[in-house]
Amino acid sequence: MLHKIILFSLGIFALTGCDAQKKAKTTSKTSEMTSNSTKPDEQKNDIIYLSEGENKFLPEYKMNITFKGISEDSRCPEGVNCIWAGVALAQVEVMGTSTRPVLLNLASMDFPSRHYHQSADFNGYTIALQEVTPYPKAGGAEGLKGKYKIGVSIKNKRASSDTTMK
């Protein structure tokens, strides 16, 4: 019996140590993102910033959000004249506390004829892509893989529909 108690307590200590390390990493990433952000006012406007591959649980929305990556970046590079501004397509996985994961493809601009949508509905909320950084340079977007950061906003779909009915 004493053997089981010792193993159980060692397991608890190991798990709390891992949890403390995760919190420290998340805190440093969050402070890095806010210091690198060019628009600190938008952080106050309920924009959630995610680095590529980052996962966050949002208790106020009861959902988990993961920025999987950018599947397409055809935005016109800086310093180049283009006919079309282009679009960045971010893959964002969301999962509610009682739902299965859903992969959303959010575009940097709406273009319905090509099935690009800047926002999508999930679990009573509208999730919209607000920002994609960095912007591609003249060499192309290939070198940016793994370096992307996005800003998304989450709005209660029910609250916005109530205000339009009044």
In this prediction, residue 146 has a pLDDT band, given cuts at 50, 70 and 90, of: low
Which of 36-50, 77-91, 107-121, 139-153 is most confident?
107-121
Banded pLDDT at 24 (limits 50, 70, 90): very low
Query: How confident is residue 166, by pLDDT bands cut at 50, 70 and 90?
Result: very low
Tell me which of 2-11, 40-49, 74-83, 120-129 is least confident: 40-49
pLDDT attached to residue 40: 37
For the chain, domain boundaries: 1-36, 38-165
pTM of the predicted model as reported, rounded to 2 decimal places: 0.64
34-58 in b/e form (b: 16+ CB < 10 A) is eeebeeeeeeeeebbbbbbebeeee
Residue 103, CB half-sphere, CA atoms under 13 Å: how many? 7
Beta bridge partners of 55: 66
Give CA separation, 1 vs 6, 107, 119, in Å: 9, 58, 56
Q: Look up residue 20 and give its amino acid.
A: A
Over range 57-71, report the average pLDDT: 93
